[in-house]
Amino acid sequence: MARIRVLAPHVANQIAAGEVVERPASVVKELVENALDAGAQHITIEIENGGTDLIRVSDDGQGIPQEDCRTAFLRHATSKIAAADDLTHITTLGFRGEALASIASVSEVTLRTRTAGEEQGTLLRVAHGEVLEETPCACVQGTTLEVRGLFANVPARLKFLKSIRTETGYVSDYVSRMIMAVPSVSFHLLNNGRTVYQSYGDGQLKNALLCVYGASVLPNLREVAFDDGYLSIAGFAGTEALARPNRLQQSFFLNGRYIRSYALSAALQRAYDTRLMTGRFPFAVLALRIAGGEVDVNVHPTKLEVRFVDEQRVARSVTAACHRALLDAPAAGAAEAEEEPERPAPRPVLPPLPELRAPQAPAARPIREAAPYSPAPRSFSFRLPQQPDAPQARPMQAQEPQTVSAPPDAPPRAEQLRLADAPYRVIGVAFLAYWIVQQGEALFLIDQHAAHERRLYEQLMRRTVQPVAQPLLSPLPVVMSPLELQTLEQNREALETLGFSFDFGADGVLLLTGVPQVLGEPLTERFLHDALEQLAACGRTSAAELRRERIIQSACKHAIKAGEPVTEAEISALLDDYAREGIPLTCPHGRPVMIRLTKREIEKLFKRVL
C-alpha cells in the first residue's frame, strides 16, 4: 500500500502551475496584473516566438524592496491581503500569491527591480524553482521580469501548446482587453521586436478602442452610462452594423478586471431584443463597478470567473443600460433609406427567376408598382369577393379593404390551387407580412419573408457550385488584428478556394487583390472579418461552410420583407415550388416558415368545442 507523503516544494509548484500557467498568455496576464497593482502607468510587454522563448514585462511601478525579492517567489506570498476578511473588499487584480512561484517552477525567471527609496536595484535569477543568483544592479525605478524557456522542464506541457501564431494571438487578445480595461495606463506590446499595440494611456476609452479596433468602429458605438448606487456601468455598445457571428468582441470588466460571464453576455443580448438575427451577437465594451462584498472573485486561480451576490439585479441593469443606449441608435440601414427618397428603378421584391413567377398570369403587376405602404392601421377584409371583370390581380396591401382574386384568363388553379395533391385556397394577407391559406380543415399562416428566403437559399445552394472571383483593379488594404492574421494563415486554403486572393503587407495590413461573388455581388471586407472571427471561435472549416454562410446572408437580403405587398400569382407560384420540390418549412436561420391551425383548434379558442 502506498504511503502518504508531503510533496516536494518544486513538485507542488509545478502542479499549481498547471492551473495558473496554462500558456504564454497566462504568464503575460499574471505579470501585467502585478504591474498594475504596483501602480504602473507605462507597461511594455515583449514576446518572442509566441512567448515560449521570451516574455519580458517592464513597468514603472513602485518596484520590490531588496529584502522582499526572494519572498516574492514563495507560494502564497503576497502584499495584497493579510487576512481572509480582506477578500471581501479586495481592490487589487492579484491576491493569491501563486503567480511568481508557479511561473518560476516551469521556466527561468530574471527579476530586475528598484524602489524609489533605493540607490541601486536588485537582480534575482530563479530557474525551475531554485535561486541561482542575487546581486545588486543598475536599473530605473520599477520592475522588469524576463521569462525564458517556458515549460522547458515540462515537455508534456510544451507539446500541448498551439502554433506560434496562435499563442501570439492569445497574448495579443489579452493585451487588447487590458488596453480597454485600464485606458489610463499606456501599454506597448512587441512581438519579435515589432509593435503590435501601443495605447495612449490618456484615460479615454474611445482612444483605447481606436487603438484596438481602428477608426471604423467609432461611428457605430453608442455610449452606455448607468449608476444606481449599487452598480455603475460605463462603456460602449455597438449598433447592428458591428454584430458578429460570435461573442469574441464582447469585453466585460469588473472593477478593472477582465472577466467572462455568460450571464452578462445573455443580458447584453436581451438588450438588442429583435434588432439582431439569430446567430448574431452584439459588440460591447462594458466596465462594471460594484462593492467588493457583492462579488466573489476567488472562484478560480485564473480569476476570469466571478460570482455575484445578486446576479439577476446585475443582469437586469446591464440589459436596461444597453437598451437605453440603443434607443437613439437607428436600425441598421435606416440612414441609407433616408438618403434615398426616390427610387426610379427599384428591383422587384421577388427576383425575376422563372421558378418564382407564375407564367400563367402575365397580367399580374410588378410588386414594386404597388402604392407605397402607409403605417396607418386600416381594416382588412378576408373575404374572397367575386370579381369576374377584374382585369388583373391587384397587389395585396393594407391600404384598402380588399382581397386577392385571380385574373379571368388564369387557369382554374388560380382559385383552387393544390399543395402536395391537397387543394388549398389563398384567402389574403395579414399585416403585409403573413399569407393566410386554407387547406381542408386547416388554416396556415405563412411568413412571406421566411418562405421566400428559404426558396432563394435552396436555389442559390444549387447554383453556387463554384465561386466567381472578381480581381480588384488595385490592392485593397485591410487592417487586421494579430489574431485575425494568424487565423487567416491557418485557413488560407479555404479562403482562397472561396475566391479571396491577398498578399501580406506590413504592420498587420492585408492587401486584398481579389474577392469572390455571390448573387452577382462581391463579398465585402466585412464578410472577411466575419469569416475570420467565426474561424477563430470554431476552428478550421471548409470553403463550402464559408460559402453557405454568405448564401444565407444573400438570401435574407434579397428576400421579400414584411410590409412589401405581393400578388396572389406570386404567392401561388412560390407555394407550388414548395409542393413540387419539397422545400423545408424553416428559413435558413431555423425559424418556421408557416404555422398550422386546425379547425378544431380554432373552435377550441372560441369555446365552441371543449
Residue with the larger pLDDT of the pair 608 and 79: 608
Residues 451-462 have a mean pLDDT of 85
Confidence of residue 253 (pLDDT cuts 50, 70, 90): very high
pLDDT, residue 529, reads: 79
What is the residue-wise DSSP string for 43-65? EEEEEEGGGTSEEEEEE-S----
Q: How far apart are CA 233 and CA 253, in angstroms?
A: 10
pLDDT of 347 above 80: no
Residues 541-557 have a mean pLDDT of 71
Residues 11-40 have a mean pLDDT of 82
Which triple of cell numbers denotes residue 306? 466571478
pLDDT of 400 above 80: no
Reference 212, options 184, 235, 242, 183; nearest CA is 183
pLDDT digits (tens, 9 = 90+) for 126-141: 998 889 999 999 999 9
pLDDT of 542 above 60: no
pLDDT of 541 above 60: no
Whether the model clears a pTM of 0.75, i.e. scores above it, the answer is no
Q: How far apart are CA 394 and CA 567, in angstroms?
A: 6
pLDDT of 226 above 60: yes
Question: Whole-number mean pLDDT of the chain?
Answer: 77
pLDDT of 383 above 50: no
Of 9-18, 383-392, 563-572, highest mean pLDDT: 563-572
Confidence of residue 446 (pLDDT cuts 50, 70, 90): very high
Q: How far apart are CA 568 and CA 392, in angstroms?
A: 10
HEC string of 12-25? HHHHHHHHHCCCHH
Residues 73-92 have a mean pLDDT of 63
pLDDT, residue 61, reads: 94
> Are β-strands 42-48 and 186-191 bridged in parallel, bridged antiparallel, or unpaired?
parallel
Confidence of residue 305 (pLDDT cuts 50, 70, 90): confident
Percent of the chain past pLDDT 90, that is, above it, reads 34
Q: How far apart are CA 25 and CA 17, in angstroms?
A: 13
Residue with the larger pLDDT of the pair 382 and 368: 368
Q: Do the Cβ atoms of 470 and 522 come closer than 8 Å?
A: yes
pLDDT of 43 above 50: yes
pLDDT, residue 301, reads: 62
Confidence of residue 108 (pLDDT cuts 50, 70, 90): very high
Residues 183-202 have a mean pLDDT of 95
pLDDT, residue 553, reads: 77
Residues 248-261 have a mean pLDDT of 92
pLDDT, residue 531, reads: 74
The domains found in the chain, sorted by start residue, are 9-198 (3.30.565.10), 214-326 (3.30.230.10), 414-610 (3.30.1540.20)
pLDDT, residue 81, reads: 54
pLDDT, residue 346, reads: 35
pLDDT of 198 above 90: yes
pLDDT, residue 398, reads: 32
Of 178-187, 258-267, 424-433, highest mean pLDDT: 178-187
pLDDT of 604 above 50: yes
What is the dihedral angle through the alpha carbons of 343, 348, 349, 351, rounded to the nearest 10 degrees?
-140
Reference 54, options 45, 67, 41; nearest CA is 45
pLDDT digits (tens, 9 = 90+) for 408-424: 333 333 233 345 556 78
pLDDT, residue 404, reads: 34
Residues 89-109 have a mean pLDDT of 77
Confidence of residue 2 (pLDDT cuts 50, 70, 90): low
Q: How far apart are CA 509 and CA 484, in angstroms?
A: 11
pLDDT digits (tens, 9 = 90+) for 489-531: 877 877 787 778 888 877 768 888 888 775 555 656 777 777 7
pLDDT, residue 526, reads: 74
Confidence of residue 552 (pLDDT cuts 50, 70, 90): confident
Confidence of residue 355 (pLDDT cuts 50, 70, 90): very low
pLDDT of 338 above 90: no
